[in-house]
A and B are shown apart, each in its own frame.
Chain A
Amino acid sequence: DQQVKQNSPSLSVQEGRISILNCDYTNSMFDYFLWYKKYPAEGPTFLISISSIKDKNEDGRFTVFLNKSAKHLSLHIVPSQPGDSAVYFCAASAGNNDMRFGAGTRLTVKP
């Protein structure tokens, strides 16, 4: 029962360019969406979130876009930096903290 899907297991971009990570969900009850970043041997750390009443949220180099009709969200990182290389997880919840995560996308930013 994969309610949150990240179809790209990996992504490689050049330093300074834009990274776009995508996420799709199936549960229309989800109303809160988050992106987490994970380095090896560490726990995931919160990056940015968006509620369903918005379609965009920006924090520095990171912007999350939400398309409710398509049940799709994306994370844009611009400009990408080598330190951004990590696994990025998309997560969604329906207001009850029963948060579901995608399988993750491994981002590699090449110098």
Chain B
Amino acid sequence: NAGVMQNPRHLVRRRGQEARLRCSPMKGHSHVYWYRQLPEEGLKFMVYLQKENIIDESGMPKERFSAEFPKEGPSILRIQQVVRGDSAAYFCASSRDRGNEKLFFGSGTQLSVL
């Protein structure tokens, strides 16, 4: 009866390194969303994926950020050559269907870039 699982909970990287954030959606959910929350700000939409497809990446920075949701395994949000401004909480959410459905969120990954 697991909910949305994100790991790691905390990730520390030095500038220039790569960060990989993982998200396993709820059982039966095939739609995954990534959001970023900067300090003192709300949740910013980044990307919406279905299995093997990126549906909407309008919120993703054009460089260094990428996301995938393979046929098998978790969704991955990848940040290359991290900078201090990437420090934030990254939340993954999932839903069963597309359309007006509530999203179920994971506990987030707190990324800290030194």
Contacts and interface: CB of A to CB of B under 8 A. Distances in A.
Interface of A: 6, 31-32, 34, 36, 41-46, 49, 51, 89, 93, 95-104
B91 A93 contact: no
A106 to B, nearest CB: 10
Given A97-B48, A101-B35, A103-B42, A31 B100 contact: yes
Interface residues of B, number: 27
B74 to A, nearest CB: 16
Nearest to B50: A97
B25 interface: no
Report whether over half of chain A's contact residues are helix, strand or loop; otherwise say mixed. Answer: loop
Interface of B: 4, 6, 31, 33, 35, 41-45, 48, 56, 58, 91, 93, 95, 98-108
B41 A103 contact: yes
